[in-house]
């Protein structure tokens, strides 16, 4: 049922993206939307069971509250036994109809609960490794817990999104007017990611270097998070190897478990192109250190299962 609800959420999300309503995918908007859909479906099931009782079992006395109570406990798969579909009067058509109706109800309820859990999780900070990830690392035999997707990949996805935005800015051309006492010069420019024009401006009127600094700072913070995540994984695997009795050379641990403090100092007050170039070189060094660290984990530490 969880797989079916996840499939339903994926289909609805894809439809919203195609309809240019991607903002509705945010938990703050998606949760009320799925709540309204679930309440509407509860009303449908309640009306259907009320009609069934009136037609098939007129002697059974019930209220509107009973109808909604039956819909609620049924879609939650609780089934307390106080209200249920009596077998008297059930035909093949009724069995098929109620089976399809309740199956879609289960999926709708599960999808709502999934979105609701995402909305709750959005208020919980995720700076540290999640409990699910640490539990999966323990390798409990027969627990059925699979190792979750590496968090580094999620961080890299964000980095790729920023790079795609950068490429979009590089391909963007617009017209800029520069005032001149004699005449107005009309010129086209490309983003100063390639052209260092101090007078160039973005389409919203901001100086292009300010935009470059903003993109650079965001990229740098993400890469630092990536490096820290790799180190956290490295330390966890090292600790696991020590518990299992493997010998670890302390020199190699010390040489790879330290972050250069100067790399973590994000300069938010860049004013010259020289400072900007220097900051970009620091970013490249962080990324290089991250790749090197990742290769070391894969080659020397290995899996600790």
Structural contact between residues 224 and 286, judged by C-beta atoms closer than 8 angstroms: yes
Q: Is residue 177 part of a domain?
A: no
Q: Are residues 4 and 93 in the same domain?
A: yes
Q: Are residues 236 and 274 in the same domain?
A: no
Q: Are residues 96 and 55 in the same domain?
A: yes
Classify residue 224 as left (phi > 0), alpha (psi -120 to 50) or beta. alpha
Band of pLDDT at residue 115, cut at 50, 70 and 90: confident
Q: Is residue 193 part of a domain?
A: no
Q: Is residue 39 part of a domain?
A: yes
**Would you say residue 44 has pLDDT above 80?**
yes
Q: Are residues 213 and 295 in the same domain?
A: no
Q: Are residues 12 and 69 in the same domain?
A: yes
Q: Are residues 90 and 121 in the same domain?
A: yes
Number of domains making up the chain? 3
Q: Are residues 31 and 76 in the same domain?
A: yes
- Give the structural domain span for 284: 269-300
Q: Are residues 10 and 53 in the same domain?
A: yes
Q: Are residues 217 and 294 in the same domain?
A: no
pLDDT at residue 238 in the model: 63
Q: Is residue 259 part of a domain?
A: no
**Would you say residue 220 has pLDDT above 50?**
yes
- Rounded mean pLDDT of 182-187? 38
Q: Is residue 234 part of a domain?
A: yes
How far apart, in Å, are the Cα atoms of 35 and each of 45, 129, 182, 228, 247?
A: 15, 30, 64, 38, 54
Q: Are residues 7 and 41 in the same domain?
A: yes
Separation CA 12–CA 17 (nearest Å)? 9
Q: Is residue 143 part of a domain?
A: no
Q: Is residue 231 part of a domain?
A: yes
- Rounded mean pLDDT of 36-44? 88
CATH number at residue 66: 1.10.287.70
Q: Are residues 152 and 60 in the same domain?
A: no
- Rounded mean pLDDT of 268-280? 56
Structural contact between residues 270 and 276, judged by C-beta atoms closer than 8 angstroms: yes
> Cα torsion for 61, 64, 70, 72, to the nearest 10°?
-170
Separation CA 202–CA 270 (nearest Å)? 18
Q: Are residues 118 and 213 in the same domain?
A: no
**Would you say residue 96 has pLDDT above 70?**
yes
Vertex 186, ends 183 and 190: CA angle to 5°? 150
Structural contact between residues 204 and 223, judged by C-beta atoms closer than 8 angstroms: no
Classify residue 245 as left (phi > 0), alpha (psi -120 to 50) or beta. left
The residue ranges of DSSP E strands in the chain, in sequence order, are 173-178, 185-190
Q: Which of 8-17, 39-48, 52-61, 98-107 has the lowest mean pLDDT?
A: 52-61
**Dihedral sign from CA coordinates of 10, 11, 14, 15:** negative
């Amino acid at each position: 049922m969880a797989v079916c609800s996840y499939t339903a959420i994926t289909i609805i999300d894809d439809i919203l993206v195609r309809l240019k309503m991607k903002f509705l995918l945010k938990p703050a908007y998606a949760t009320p939307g799925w709540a309204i859909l679930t309440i509407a479906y509860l009303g449908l099931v309640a009306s259907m069971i009320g009609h069934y009782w009136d037609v098939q079992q007129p002697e059974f006395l019930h209220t509107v509250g009973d109808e909604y109570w039956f819909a609620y406990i049924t879609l939650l798969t609780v089934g307390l036994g106080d209200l249920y579909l009596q077998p008297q009067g059930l035909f093949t058509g009724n069995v098929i109809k109620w089976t399809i109706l309740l199956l879609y109800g289960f999926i709708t309820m599960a999808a709502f609960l999934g979105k609701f859990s995402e909305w709750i999780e959005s208020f919980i900070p995720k700076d540290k490794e999640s409990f699910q990830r640490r539990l999966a690392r323990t390798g409990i035999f027969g627990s059925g817990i699979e190792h979750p997707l590496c968090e580094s990949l999620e961080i890299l996805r964000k980095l790729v999104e920023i790079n795609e935005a950068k490429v979009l800015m590089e391909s963007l051309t617009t017209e800029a007017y520069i005032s001149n006492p004699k005449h107005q010069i009309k010129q086209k420019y490309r983003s100063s990611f390639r052209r260092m024009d101090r007078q160039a401006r973005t389409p919203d009127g901001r100086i292009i270097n300010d935009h470059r600094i903003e993109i650079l700072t965001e990229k740098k913070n993400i890469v630092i998070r990536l490096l820290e995540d790799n180190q956290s994984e490295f330390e966890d695997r090292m600790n696991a190897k020590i518990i299992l009795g493997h010998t670890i050379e302390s020199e190699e641990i010390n040489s790879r478990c330290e972050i250069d403090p100067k790399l973590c100092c994000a300069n938010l007050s860049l004013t010259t192109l020289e400072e900007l170039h220097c900051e970009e070189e620091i970013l490249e060094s962080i990324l290089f250190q991250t790749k090197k660290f990742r290769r070391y984990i894969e080659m020397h530490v290995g899996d600790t299962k």
